[in-house]
């Protein structure tokens, strides 16, 4: 193993894929993978796709999350720190190999791969197929097999085109979310909104996934009963039921019904809405008028601040199929806060009734 300034660096790094919720699932799995292999994890930047930008934007990991809580679980280092201070010593330019699932991993082909590696001026000299190994380090003695094939003395750095993890997050890794803590900037913005915008008192947080792309995704439920993050409420083997259209794309009347029940159960004074498209503010305001409950969203929605606010709600209702909801649900589970889902369990949509159904 290579050593630098008294530390041992057996690095593993990769490129994130998908939207933030998907990337978060991949990160948690990658953290478990690095721990099992006893390799330091280089924290990759978050990949963002911004309107009008031809290429993805790479946002430093620490812009959104703290380093110290992750270090309590395992050794981590920011990708920026690694590339500037460690890579020149342990990862020579002529030894940069990408690990992929095919004979040629095309590490920099397309978006976000090219922009991701170009951010750090990384070029690969060759590709390597790692099969039949896989990322499930909880079974088949897989961690030992990885270390046997790639001993740290010969392979101090493992670089992957995608995250060495599954989506959705593997059941055995869900609990690792407790080490993912928002940065002070995100926490301050969330707390400031709750204190200065929402009325004093309890509030219900909801997540509405209703963009055009989501409508198309829900059409695949019939053939993919465990679509995306559905295991978070249905179980990883569908032992708790089958996904329905109401769960994936809940009708307005169902949304109003569940929100009213949650407001009543928690004596809420307001509702906070997070959405990728339509926040339904006018509709919900009208539906809750008699209850004297106000409905709110961020003036300039930012997904990460939305999540931090949802994580602090007295009660949360989300979309079982969505990985964005899954992030909020995991964070709330860590803190012992109650959550529910649209249309689940069927015919039992009251907040109080859902408490004992949580996973």
> What pLDDT score does 356 carry?
40
Do 279 and 208 touch, CB atoms closer than 8 A?
yes
- 299-334 as b/e, with b when 16 or more CB fall inside 10 Å? eeeebbbbbbbbbbbbbbbbbbbbbbbbbbbbbbbb
Mean pLDDT, residues 249-266: 98
> What pLDDT score does 357 carry?
45
Render pLDDT for 185-213 as a digit per residue (tens, 0 to 9).
999 999 999 999 999 999 999 999 999 99
Work out the mean pLDDT of the chain and round it to a whole number.
91
**Shared fold status for 7-172 and 184-341:** yes
> What pLDDT score does 111 carry?
87
Query: Which parts of 97-255 are beta strand (E)?
Result: 97-100, 126-129, 157-160, 203-208
- Asked if pLDDT for residue 84 goes beyond 90, the answer is yes
Domain ranges of the chain: 7-172, 184-341
Give the fold, CATH level 3, of 7-172: Rossmann fold (3.40.50)
Mean pLDDT, residues 148-174: 94
| pTM beyond 0.85, yes or no | yes
**For residue 267, what are the contacts with CB-CB under 8 A and spacing of at least 6?**
201, 202
> What pLDDT score does 348 carry?
56
Q: How does residue 105 score in pLDDT terms, banded at 50, 70 and 90?
A: low
CATH class, domain 184-341, is: alpha beta
Q: How does residue 161 score in pLDDT terms, banded at 50, 70 and 90?
A: confident
- The share of the chain scoring above pLDDT 90, in percent, equals 80
């Amino acid at each position: 193993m290579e050593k630098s300034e008294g530390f041992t660096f057996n690095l593993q790094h990769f490129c994130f894929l998908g939207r933030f919720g998907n990337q978060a699932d991949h990160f948690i799995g990658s953290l478990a993978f690095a721990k099992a292999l006893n390799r330091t994890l280089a924290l990759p930047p978050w990949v963002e796709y911004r309107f009008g930008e031809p290429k993805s934007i790479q946002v430093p990991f620490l812009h959104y999350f703290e380093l110290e809580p992750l270090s309590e679980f395992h050794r981590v280092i920011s990708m920026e720190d690694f590339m500037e201070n460690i890579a020149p010593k342990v990862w020579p330019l002529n030894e940069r190999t990408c690990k992929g699932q095919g004979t040629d991993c095309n590490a920099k082909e397309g978006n976000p791969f090219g922009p991701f590696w170009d951010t750090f001026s990384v070029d690969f000299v060759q590709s390597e197929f790692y099969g039949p190994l896989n990322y499930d380090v909880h079974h088949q003695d897989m961690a030992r097999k990885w270390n046997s094939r790639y001993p740290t003395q010969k392979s101090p750095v493992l670089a992957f085109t995608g995250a060495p993890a599954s989506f959705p997050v593997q059941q055995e890794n869900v609990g690792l979310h407790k080490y993912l803590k928002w940065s002070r900037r995100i926490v301050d913005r969330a707390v400031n909104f709750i204190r200065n915008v929402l009325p004093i008192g309890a509030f219900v947080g909801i997540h509405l996934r209703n963009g055009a792309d989501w409508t198309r995704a829900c059409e695949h439920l019939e053939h993919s009963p465990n679509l995306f993050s559905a295991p978070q409420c249905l179980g990883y083997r569908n032992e708790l039921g089958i996904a329905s259209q109401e769960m994936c794309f809940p009708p307005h009347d169902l949304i109003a019904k569940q929100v009213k029940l949650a407001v009543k159960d928690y004596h809420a004074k307001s509702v906070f809405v997070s959405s990728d498209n339509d926040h339904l503010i006018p509709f919900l305001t009208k539906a809750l008028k008699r209850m004297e409950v106000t409905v709110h969203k961020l003036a300039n929605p930012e997904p990460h601040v939305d999540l931090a606010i949802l994580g602090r709600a007295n009660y949360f209702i989300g979309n079982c199929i969505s990985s964005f909801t899954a992030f909020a649900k995991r964070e709330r589970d860590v803190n012992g806060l109650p959550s529910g889902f649209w249309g689940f369990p069927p015919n039992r949509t009251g907040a109080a009734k859902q408490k004992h159904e949580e996973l």
